[in-house]
Amino acid sequence: MQPAPALPDWVTRVGVFDLETTGVDVHHDRVVTAHVGLLDEHGREIAARDWFADPGIDIPDGATAVHGITTAQARRYGRPVREVVAEVTSALRSLLSQGVPIVAYNASYDFSLLANEARRHGVPPLDDPSPVIDPLVIDKAYDRYRPGKRTLQVVAALYAVSLEDAHEAAADAVAAGRVAQALARQFALPETPTELHTRQIAWARAQAASLTEYFIRIGRLDPDDRLDGTWPVRPTRHDERR
């Protein structure tokens, strides 16, 4: 029987982060809810904060169907989005300044959208957050040929991580953190979060290139199009600087 890999030290204290939003476009969609927390070595959340924002735009029905929050609810109970974006960014910056790695599932989505929201509202953005741990990128790198979907719900179930309230920011954030810890128990991941962060940059780029080729082959992308594999923050478009 193969011995379990030695656990890297970063497993014992990880930050977790998730957003629920008005849609899936990181350049134009807005924050609705957010969660930032801290897990111990057993996956227990030992610190946490939640935010509920009025995004300042209507929440499309499709987004409401995912996370259950309507425009009316956000306008009535949500805080000004600039305040929320500033506080979430500050919470993440504080953890990173202490050397705590931040886990986010499909991190380039959450961190890119948050950075664009920060610029939109005059908040100093997290342009180059590090170290970040992305269970989606890691799972694809270490179990590349496994068939099936790679949603958080599917991957959490695979690694025996409970996720009862999918698409609720706190539940998703904590589950992602526990999946990251499960990956570290199953695979020989880099010892330091900085080294893991650096490797994920290359893995994400290669994964996007491979998916681009596949989408072109099945006719889902034009031959001249490319998926953006920049990780963990995608480049800003010029229209987002205004």
Tokens of 215: 């989408």
d(Cα 204, Cα 210) in Å, to the nearest integer? Answer: 10
Say whether pLDDT at 228 is over 60.
yes
The predicted model gives 11-22 an average pLDDT of: 97
CATH of domain 9-234: 3.30.420.10
Say whether pLDDT at 241 is over 90.
no
Say whether pLDDT at 238 is over 80.
no
How would residue 206 be classed by pLDDT, with cut points 50, 70 and 90?
very high
For residue 6, the model assigns a pLDDT of 73
Residue with tokens 């939109």: 120
For residue 240, the model assigns a pLDDT of 45
Residue with tokens 């300044």: 97
Domains in the chain: boundaries: 9-234
Say whether pLDDT at 110 is over 90.
yes
For residue 4, the model assigns a pLDDT of 66
Measured on CA atoms in the order 51, 228, 239, 220, is the torsion positive or negative? negative
For residue 239, the model assigns a pLDDT of 46
Tokens of 122: 């005059």
In the beta sheet, which residues pair with residue 47? 38
Measured on CA atoms in the order 155, 160, 162, 164, is the torsion positive or negative? positive
